[in-house]
Amino acid sequence: MRTKGSTAATAGPGNANGTVAAGHAVTTHDPDTPGRPTAGGLAWRVATLADVPAVLALVESAYRGESSQAGWTTEADILDGQRTDAAAIEEIVRGQDSLVLVVDDAAPGAGVAACCQLERRGSACYFGMFAVRPTGQARGLGSALLAEAERYARERWGATRMEMYVISLRSDLIAWYERRGYHRTGETAPFPYGDERFGLPRRDDLEFAVLAKPLVAE
């Protein structure tokens, strides 16, 4: 199973308390309101169609090619080709039950620092297209954005569960999510071999592990 612009959820590691290194505190606000700078020079907001090129550039830089190797989320060793495309991101942005959350870097011209996709699926919410600028990974931004996405899904959509698909070979990434309350459901999903929109596999054993986390007390 795959969804629109993303075939796996991924992001850089960070501190569980949602702070960025070097004293840059990440504070959140209602994603339905226009973004505003926070104490750390970052702001959350919901992406618009004008953001599609920047989101695409960020996602590609985090997963593909030489630039992705500056961070730890790279898939360049297992996948060539593209990670997504502008049409897929535009579909998410236009969707009635989907959106992209972005974090802007307040530095002039610095662009989008992180993003993720949310898609409402009944009482569950799908989380994907999670990307943090490679040079900004391992500073807490990934953890903070994940927490904000969970809050949005729970409070805005009434979601009781977050779900995601992660390439099963990415044991380090799965461990990162497990430290944040996610667990393997025991389900797997096939990688979309033959669909070049999601990359060109460099091996023939790729599949997704399905991860989930309750968003309300059970």
Q: CATH number for the domain including 159?
A: 3.40.630.30
Burial of 173 by CB count in 10 Å (0-12 exposed, 13-18 middle, 19+ buried)?
buried
Q: How many domains in the chain? A: 1
Helix (H) or strand (E) holding 46: strand 42-46
Domain carrying residue 51 = 19-214
12 located within any domain: no
Q: Which residue has the tokens 């620092």?
A: 113
123 located within any domain: yes
Q: For each of the chain's 218 residues, which pLDDT tens digit applies?
A: 444 554 445 443 333 323 232 223 334 444 444 454 443 445 789 999 999 999 999 998 877 656 555 455 566 677 766 678 999 999 999 999 999 999 988 677 778 899 999 999 999 999 999 999 877 777 788 889 999 999 999 999 999 999 999 999 989 899 999 999 999 999 999 998 988 888 887 889 899 999 999 999 87
Give me the half-sphere count of Cα atoms (radius 13 Å) on the Cβ side of residue 29.
14
7 located within any domain: no
Of 53, 61, 36, which Cα lies nearest the Cα of 93?
Answer: 53
Give me the half-sphere count of Cα atoms (radius 13 Å) on the Cβ side of residue 152.
29
77 located within any domain: yes
Burial of 24 by CB count in 10 Å (0-12 exposed, 13-18 middle, 19+ buried)?
middle
2 located within any domain: no
37 located within any domain: yes
49 located within any domain: yes
Does pTM surpass 0.85? no
SS3 category, 40: coil
9 located within any domain: no
